[in-house]
Each structure stands twice: as C-alpha cells, then as structure tokens.
Amino acid sequence: MLADPYVTLGVEKSASQDEIQKAYRRLAKKLHPDLNPGNRQAEEQFKNVTAAYDLLGDADKRARFDRGEIDASGAERPAHRYYRDFSEGASPYSSDAGYEDFGDADEILAQMFSRGGRARAHMRGADIRYRLELDFLEAVNGGERQVVLPDGSALDVNIPAGTREGQILRLRGKGRPGLGDASTGDALIEIEVRPHRIFTRKGDDIHIDLPISLREAVLGGEVVAPTPAGKVMMKVPKWTNTNAVLRLKGKGARRLDGTSGDEFVTLKIMLPEKPDPELEKFVAGWRGEYSPRQATES
Amino acid sequence: MLSRTFILQARIDAEDLESWCAEGWLLPCETESGREFSDVDLARAHFIRDLLALGVNREGVPIVLDLVDQIHGLRRVARDLLDTVKALQRERDSE
C-alpha cells in the first residue's frame, strides 16, 4: 500500500496547486540528498516527496488521482544516482578548499587528499534498473526480448517461461562500468505483465471462461480449449452445468522446479445469439419440473 | 557519453547544456570526437536541474555547488582523520 501523497506533502485535499508547490519546495529543500550528504534516510524521504509531487503537482494527474483513475505508483520516477554518491572518488569538482586556516595541519591534510584519491579509485559500477512490459503469453511461455537502453545500446534479455508480474531479472555485468579495477554493476529488470483478453493467472495456474452450447452441456462432447501453449481438445462430460470447472493438468505456467501449474476452464452455457424457433418449440414441449432457485426462494 | 546522450539522460535541453558548461558548472572532458561526459557530470546535472526547480536562481546555483563541493571535501578529510585516529588507537592498544 502506497502512502497517501497528500499526507506525504502535508497538505489538505483542498489545497491549491500553489500551496502544493510551496509544500513540495519546502520539503525538497530540506530533504534533497545532495543537500544532505551524510543523511542516508534523506534519499528515501525525498523520493516519496518527489513522487507525491509528480502526481499532485500536475493538475491533470491530480484530478485523475482524486477520481481514483490512477494510483500513487503512477508517479514513480526512474532512479538516478545523486551527486553525493560520487563524493568518494576523484572528480574534476573535488574541492580541497576550506581548511587553509588550519595552519600547519595543511601538509598532513594534503597528504591525506592524495592518498584518499588513490585508495578510493576502485568502486563497483552501479546497478541500472529498467521496467519491461511483457504480453501475457510472452511471460507465460518465455522467450527473447531486446531492451533498448537510454543510451541507445541494446540488451538481449532471456525471459524464462513462467515469469511473473513484479519479478526482477538480474543480468550480471550489464550495469554501469566500475571505477578502476572494480567490477561492472548489474542490470535489474522489473517485469510488468499486460493482462490478456481471455486468460487470467493466479499463481502458477491459468484460468479461463469457456462458453459451451446447450447441446454440448446436455449431451457432452469434445470442445477446443485455448491454453497459453496452444489449442487442446477437451472432453465435456454429459450433463455439465454453467460454472463447472474442468482442469487441464500441466497446462499452466512453468514453475522454477520445472513442473507446471494447471489450467482451470470454467464452463458457461450460452444460448444461440439469435432466437431459434426450433429450440423454442422444443423447450415449450418440455415438461421439466426443475427450479434452479430453490435455495434463493426458501 | 557524448552531448546528445547526456542531454537525453539529464533531461535538459541543448541550450542549458551550453550555458552550464560555459558557466563552468559542468566540466566535461574535451576529446577529438567532442565533449565527453561522465556519470559524475550526469549526477551533477541532475542536481543543478533540481536546484533550479526548487527555486534557486542562476546566481545561487554556483554558490550552492561550491559549498556542496567543499562539504564533500571536508567530509572526506573528517573520515580520513577518524580512520587515522582509529588506526593509532589500535596500534597503541596492541603495544
């Protein structure tokens, strides 16, 4: 559950855009990680404040949020590294001003600066994070995808079968280069899965609704059922009702241990779309005494 | 990275980049194939962009940058001093 952006910024729901901007600036000035080099918590707090402002600072997005059309996560920013993260290494911006008035300490400090610069020249490269949106079937069946990074280079990503929403794929050594002899960072790819028109997924199982005709329901028969891997023939037993669930073993998503989940097919009896005089005549002649509403009527 | 990539990643426009370099707020390496920017330059550009968005004006930016650079320098000295003191303490304890 994400925090309420109004609470994060400390403003009323009725606050004007101007008040929201003021609240954001007040907090951001206090919390910006580069203005708080020694405060590790500042980064997390600043991220929350910025995300809240991304949402509420834009009158359009704010209105959509108020109407409940988007949630607070709609405003997440791509991660970036703060300037303070580089303060350890040697950089053209390093400043050794500020202690000249220490007098004879000067030499010792100068020594430290040069030693510090050398000793800290090795730093593991940063991990980079991406989001990758997959089609439902692509996630279930797996495959290869190419991701184009912001700097224009392409990365081949192998999507394992059975990949889930929110799963993070780690590509070793595909992040930023390290400094000196240190190793390269990793690329972390967070997976989002687009919903499918007919399939839904619960854990490793796939669920679908499958319409059948009155004739198939009463007399039974073979019907074609779609699965993520393709169509299969499925036997519908005689006298099958709406909401009967049939299980197709092993036709769900692949698990890490190599086994697979199942597909559950919920059957729905459908009458023909256009009135069928023959069927009407037949049912009129049927003297069925059964009432399906016994439970609701008593 | 080259200027074009840098502009995209820092989410600034070419004009900003020109003036920030001219003011000396960014110090990229000049190479034969043009200006070459590092990750430090990128992080600094993000910082400058944030400062401007927070309402710091153009005269204020170099002042903040200079003070922040000094703080980093002083923090580094403070850490090295502490390390040295700790090492001396250990040396004395083992004697």
- Residue A293 CB neighbour total at 10 angstroms: 7
Please name the residues between 60 and 99 in chain A that touch chain B, using a CB distance below 8 Å. 80-89, 91-99
| Domain locations in chain A as residue ranges | 1-77, 85-119, 124-195, 200-274
Tell me which of A111-120, A227-236, A268-277 is least confident: A111-120
Cβ of residue B3 closer than 8 Å to a chain A Cβ? no
d(CA A120, CA A126): 15
Predicted ipTM of the assembly: 0.72
| Domain locations in chain B as residue ranges | 3-94
List pLDDT tens digits, range A147-160: 877 666 778 888 99
* Model pLDDT, residue A112: 61
List pLDDT tens digits, range A90-109: 677 777 666 666 656 656 66
Phi, psi at A39, each rounded to 5°: -110, 105
Residue A227 pairs in a beta bridge with: A230
Residues 6+ apart with CB under 8 A from A97: B70, B73
Q: What pTM was computed for the model?
A: 0.46
Closest residue on chain B to A78 (Cα) = B9
Cβ–Cβ under 8 Å, residues A186 and A172: yes
Domain A200-274 matching CATH 2.60.260.20: the answer reads yes
List pLDDT tens digits, range B65-94: 988 888 888 888 888 888 888 888 888 887
Matching CATH number, B3-94, of 1.10.1660.10, 3.40.140.10, 3.30.110.70, 2.60.40.10: 1.10.1660.10
Say whether A113 and B44 touch across the interface (CB within 8 A): no
Say whether A86 and B40 touch across the interface (CB within 8 A): yes
List pLDDT tens digits, range B2-38: 888 888 888 888 899 989 988 889 888 877 777 888 8
Please name which of A206, A203, A242, A254 lies closest in space to residue A226, comparing C-alpha atoms: A206
Selected residue of B39, B44, B82 to mutate for chain A interface (largest A Cβ count, 10 A) = B39
Say whether B75 and A85 touch across the interface (CB within 8 A): no
Classified by CATH at the fold level, domain A124-195 comes out as HSP40/DNAj peptide-binding domain (2.60.260)
Give contacts of B46 with chain A, Cβ < 8 Å.
Answer: 80, 82-83
